[in-house]
Amino acid sequence: LLNKLSYLQGEQTERMDYTGKNKDEIPKRGETSFGNRLTVGSSSSTGSSNSLPSSTGSSASTVPGSREGRRILIVNAKDPTKNSRVLLNPKTSQSFEAILNDWGQVLKMKSVSGMLTPSNAQVRSLSQLRNDFADVDEFYLQEGATTNIVTNKNARMSLRPPKVNNKLVRSQSEPNIKEALTGDPITITVRGKQHILHASSKSKSFKVDSSVPKETLKLDWVYGYRGMDSTENLMVAPATGELIYYVAAVVVLYDKNKNHQRHYTEHTEDISALSLHPKKDVAASGQKQGRSRRNAAHIRIWSLSTLETLQVLGNGDIRIGIASLAFSNKNKGSLVAAVESGENHVMRVWQWESGEMAGKANTHRDLISGVKFHPQENNLVITYGRSHLCFWGKRRDGAFDRADAISPQNGSTKPQTITCIDFQKNGDIFTGDLDGKITTWALRDGGYVALKEIQAHDKSVTCIFTMPEGSLVSGSDTDRRITAWDPLADFAILAETRLPEIAGGVRSIVCQVPGKSEPGLFVGTTKNLILEGGLQSKFQPLVVGHAKQLWALAVHPSLPVFASAGFDRNILKWKNHKPEWRVQSKSDLREDVQSYSYPSKSVTHGNYQYTGGGTLAMASQNGNLYLYKAERGGWVFRRSMTLSGKLPLANFDWSTSGEFIRTQSQEHDIFYCIFKNSNYVEEPTIACCDRSYSKTLLAVGDVDGHLRLFRHPTISSKAGFRETKSYSSYVSQAKFTADDAFIITTGGTDAALMQWKLT
């Protein structure tokens, strides 16, 4: 424990927010962390302070925009006078339960059973703390018994072929329904609070069918692309020409000519790495670690043609997640290499067809950007990252010989962060770095040395690739430029273009026809778009999505259209898998846009109900419900009424008669409002859900990313359901379309919009 915590003396610091250059970005907090775990600055109101040596002996300093840490206030829920400010390290390898126990000891608590926000929302994981509650600075720790924490520190490595774990695949749930309720009240615990649910007084019979519904859920369409926080995630299948990319826990194979998608859905947590086999119709994808052993980090090898899983690697051995994946080029691509996201960034190499591990090595304690096999040498693996460009020669016994290209011995004194690499036909290497430079490396005297360096972009080079005829194409997420270079002519610029600001920066670039020097390119951007075009022509959007967290969804009650809104302040109307239109709120916080943004975020939820001249209702995170009257045929809306609520609102809808408004708080409480009298009528409920228009099915999404389908009505806590999981966190919305043929879901932190077909 002593080497995980470091206490600082001093007064409480004020909350700090720093805004980046991009106005659309949510402000990030930056702070320099101590060591590799956690730094805690004690500021207990009791006035006591302790001092223990840190792992590095440094002193804390807040660095705006560094994104290295975040300072929060933890409070003892039973005794608020006991509190402390701590620095959360986003790169920690500790489990969430271990961090809570460490913080509990800071507040002199015997044990910690949970963590709550001031609005009584429960924090369930470290990723949820970083993403869902990024704007919350104060948290309350509940004292109580905790479950045992199982770590992998003492796990032994096995070279035996791992078996496919069928438990990783989600399937329908068929619980025992013999104890179905018969009209008695039921008590449900939500976020530590008990809710008593009473049966409707108008119900004549409680004998309902609680079996598993006959309808099944099949993923029909995935909207958008994940370019906001991932790289090397856009590829083209050589055999079919399909675009391959991942969103949340789904790999999408999109045929733009037929406007058809196929989906690989065997992952149970967010996908973090993807690679295509150089010769075979095979792909490898790796996922992050979930909160349970069932959702462990692992790699899946699968067929592009049949979508069948061929092999599962690293299940139970890999910690945190997969940072990068790569197939070998020689020896028929028999090897696959992976670098994990854990503390030491362990690199493992497998014979993927047999599942046998061929070797492993600790690479680097700092950031690792990726891993590649040398195209001309099957046993030479290259890893790159922050101050790291390393060549690993694999021996027959599974050990690796290491050679560092970035070191004082090689004449490199300035730390470099390598972000991407590619290869020339002669085996030389191109690298792009965080400073916007492209460097050529060549083999000299048994080692790779830098031959030439150019300033290619203003800042970070996010991707580079070599065209078949030898030219080099690079892209940047800061200056948004795409440039073609001639390496044989002293890196003369052959062509260049710049993406518009609305498209975002460059994240990935691939040729439309693999292996051929065609002018057409596909470009993935930081605003979750995929563009198609060329350096001599304009780029047009091919795949469109939201760029930040996605929480709002409205489905039309009679037409096959729906609308979505997110933290990127974009509101899109969708029809036939395409956006019909898009609008963006650019206003500051003022009276006329209060319902759209509170505070400085975006629409929480919106829905239309026409009563006479027309009324628009907007729900806000401050608990208020705002009503607007439509004027000039629906082109102008003026606020006519404000209904003050008690708790932040997550969803709401109108009754079919337009007489009542039903709102759901973030505490999962239901409030009814009589529209004419504007009075709230309170009644508790269980979770966020939506009923089909036929009134026979119920769709439910939870905070762990599950979508469940029940029969309606459901009065049993053990009712049967169908289940699927394609998100790692909140299913923020789940709604039936007007014909009950589909369910539309949104993932809050994933910014993922999906469409499910009922079959």
The yes-or-no verdict on residue 658 having pLDDT over 80 is no
710/738 Cα distance (integer angstroms)? 18
pLDDT at 256: 93
Token pair belonging to 496: 């260049």
pLDDT at 390: 93
pLDDT in tens, 68-104: 578 899 998 888 888 999 988 877 778 888 899 899 9
User: Residue 384: which of 403, 371, 366, 402 has the closest Cα?
Assistant: 371
Q: At a CB cut-off of 8 Å and minimum separation 6, what does 679 contact?
A: 673
Token pair belonging to 624: 């208020």
Token pair belonging to 670: 């239901």
Buried b (16+ CB within 10 A) or exposed e, 243-252: bbbbbbbbbb
The yes-or-no verdict on residue 437 having pLDDT over 80 is yes
The yes-or-no verdict on residue 18 having pLDDT over 70 is no
pLDDT at 754: 95
The yes-or-no verdict on residue 54 having pLDDT over 50 is no
The yes-or-no verdict on residue 49 having pLDDT over 80 is no
Q: Which of 621-625, 725-729, 743-747 has the weakest average pLDDT?
A: 621-625
pLDDT at 165: 42
The yes-or-no verdict on residue 213 having pLDDT over 50 is yes
pLDDT > 90: percent of the chain: 37
**Average confidence score pLDDT of the chain:** 77
Using CB atoms within 10 A of its CB, is residue 378 exposed (0-12), middle (13-18) or buried (19+)? middle
What are the structural domains of the chain?
1-148 (3.10.20.230), 266-404 (2.130.10.10), 407-545 (2.130.10.10), 547-758 (2.130.10.10)
13 or 340, greater pLDDT: 340
The yes-or-no verdict on residue 598 having pLDDT over 70 is no
676 or 454, greater pLDDT: 454
Distance between start and end Cα atoms, the chain: 53
**What are the distances in angstroms from CA 559 to CA 543, 607, 690, 738?**
23, 15, 17, 6
Overall size of the chain counted in residues: 759
Q: Which of 128-132, 302-306, 493-497, 527-531 has the weakest average pLDDT?
A: 128-132
618 or 258, greater pLDDT: 258
321 or 652, greater pLDDT: 321
Buried b (16+ CB within 10 A) or exposed e, 160-192: eebeeeeebebeeeeeeeeebbeeeeeeeebbe
Pairing of strands 138-143, 70-76: parallel
677 or 598, greater pLDDT: 677
Confidence label for 28 from pLDDT (cuts 50, 70 and 90) = very low
Phi first, then psi: give them for residue 600, nearest 5 degrees: 45, 35
Query: What's the average model confidence in pLDDT over 566-575?
Result: 90
Which residue type does 533 have? G
pLDDT at 309: 96
Cβ neighbours, 10 Å, residue 608: 16
The yes-or-no verdict on residue 22 having pLDDT over 80 is no
Q: Is the peptide bond before 599 cis (omega within 30 degrees of 0)?
A: yes
565/542 Cα distance (integer angstroms)? 20
Token pair belonging to 361: 């090595």
pLDDT at 21: 37
pLDDT at 330: 83
47 or 625, greater pLDDT: 625
734/753 Cα distance (integer angstroms)? 10
Query: What's the average model confidence in pLDDT over 348-362?
Result: 92
597/402 Cα distance (integer angstroms)? 53
pLDDT at 591: 33
pLDDT at 243: 96
**What are the distances in angstroms from CA 164 to CA 95, 168, 256, 572?**
25, 9, 33, 40
Token pair belonging to 677: 């009298």
Query: What's the average model confidence in pLDDT over 660-666?
Result: 79
pLDDT at 411: 59
pLDDT in tens, 679-720: 444 433 344 689 999 999 999 988 788 899 999 988 777 889
Q: Which of 147-156, 400-409, 514-523 has the weakest average pLDDT?
A: 147-156
The yes-or-no verdict on residue 2 having pLDDT over 50 is no
pLDDT at 147: 38
In 344-460 the beta strands, taken as DSSP E runs, fall at 346-351, 356-362, 368-373, 380-385, 388-394, 400-404, 418-423, 429-433, 437-444, 447-455
**What are the distances in angstroms from CA 195 to CA 186, 187, 225, 669?**
8, 6, 39, 9
Confidence label for 378 from pLDDT (cuts 50, 70 and 90) = confident
Query: What's the average model confidence in pLDDT over 294-315?
Result: 93
pLDDT in tens, 718-729: 889 999 988 887
